[in-house]
Amino acid sequence: MGKILEVRDLHVCFDTFSGEVHAVRGVDFYLEEGETLAIVGESGSGKSVMTKCIMRLLPTPLSRIPKGEILYKGKNVIKLKEKEMQTVRGSEISMIFQDPMTSLNPTMTIGKQITEGLMKHQNLSKKETKMRAIQLLTLVGLPNPEKRVNQYPHQFSGGMRQRVVIAMAIACNPKILIADEPTTALDVTIQSQILELMKDLQVKMHTSIIIITHDLGVVANVADRVAVMYAGIIIETGTVDEIFYRSNHPYTWGLLTSMPTLQTKSTRLVAIPGTPPDLISPPKGCPFASRCQYVMEVCINHMPDYSNLTDTHLVACWLLDDRAPRIEQPFIARGGTGDG
């Protein structure tokens, strides 16, 4: 497996009336061919901004990329001209958006919406594109595709609409599929069907997937590796086992602890106290310092470097410094199941 995508020292800012928001603040990660990388974090952690940046879908001139590289097939996507980017977007890198109702056009038939991308990127006749649309709807498990292809989004249930959105995203056999909270708007049964579908399609099409989610249950179900984002920074990254059984960052511990389990007896869910920092004037030191129960003086003024615990497991926390006091990982970070 080689790296299909590499993001290096990426910074993204937005101009707002209140000032410049530093939404992404020096992010490095890679995506291997055929793997699924989950990016997790609370709302506002910068995960969606970062992936929209890969697709070059951020609004200009409101957003700026002052620094960084996004390398796809050796080319820096940030430097591509819009015309060059149009050949990449949809056919090489494609995206499944969060809410299938708002990402579909209510005035166009499903078939037309699926074939739009195909007609743009592939030299197919009208008849061939319609056949391909039917094939795609069959592939994503939509019953009666010959009839469904001529229907409008309001004639579909939420789960079916998400299947249509996936069909649109995979229409041109993209090398990379970015799924932004693909199951948030769906109930749990449909959610698990959609995740199964994505896993199945990945095997069939050899696609590499980036999935953005705040749901660790989704991560455990589909991901090979995980990057945990907080306040525009990746604070811990590792394989699924490293994050679920050997995590080393207090924020990751907080996320794991707040995950409900079958053994959860209390009616109240556990939350991480406090709120993320204001990214108009981000903190000098560790961004989690104001919420961290292990905070030390050094954390306030100095951002910790990454400690490489293994080739795949990186953590940015002063607790891993030799001079820091030894603390015991919470039970949940060692694979425990909460209060069961």
Write each residue from 274 to 303 as x if it is in contact with ligand SF4 (CB under 6 A), else as -, in one continuous string: ------------x-xx--x-xxx--x----
Q: Which is closer to ligand SF4, CB of 193 or CB of 307?
A: 307
- Asked if 256 interacts with ligand SF4 (CB under 6 A), we say no
Nearest to 212, CA basis, from 98, 94, 72, 78: 98
The DSSP secondary structure of 57-114, one letter per residue, reads -S-TTTEEEEEEEEEETTEEGGGS-HHHHHHHBTTTEEEE-S-HHHHS-TTS-HHHHH
Cα 285 to chain centroid, rounded: 25
Q: Are strands 3-16 and 63-72 parallel, antiparallel or unpaired?
A: antiparallel
Give the one residue of 250, 276, 277, 282 binding ligand SF4; rule: CB under 6 A.
250
Residue 38 to residues 178, 226, 322: CA-CA distances in angstroms? 10, 5, 30
Which member of 94, 118, 318, 332 binds ligand SF4 (CB under 6 A)?
A: 318
Choose between 114 and 243: whose C-beta lies nearer to ligand SF4. 243
Q: How far is the CB of 339 from ligand SF4 (least distance, A)?
A: 23
Using CB under 6 A, count the residues that bind ligand SF4: 14
The answer to the question of residue 319 lying near ligand SF4 (CB under 6 A) is yes
Task: In angstroms, give the least distance from the CB of 249 to ligand SF4.
Answer: 6
Our CB check for ligand SF4 shows the closer of 187 and 321 to be: 321
Which of 149, 317, 332, 333 contacts ligand SF4 by CB under 6 A? Answer: 317
Kindly state whether residue 97 participates in binding ligand SF4, applying the rule CB under 6 A.
no
- Cβ neighbors of 158 (< 8 A, separation 6 or more) are 100, 101, 185, 186, 187, 190
Helix or strand holding residue 6 (H, E): strand 3-16
Chain residues that interact with ligand SF4, rule: CB under 6 A: 249-250, 286, 288-289, 292, 294-296, 299, 304, 317-319
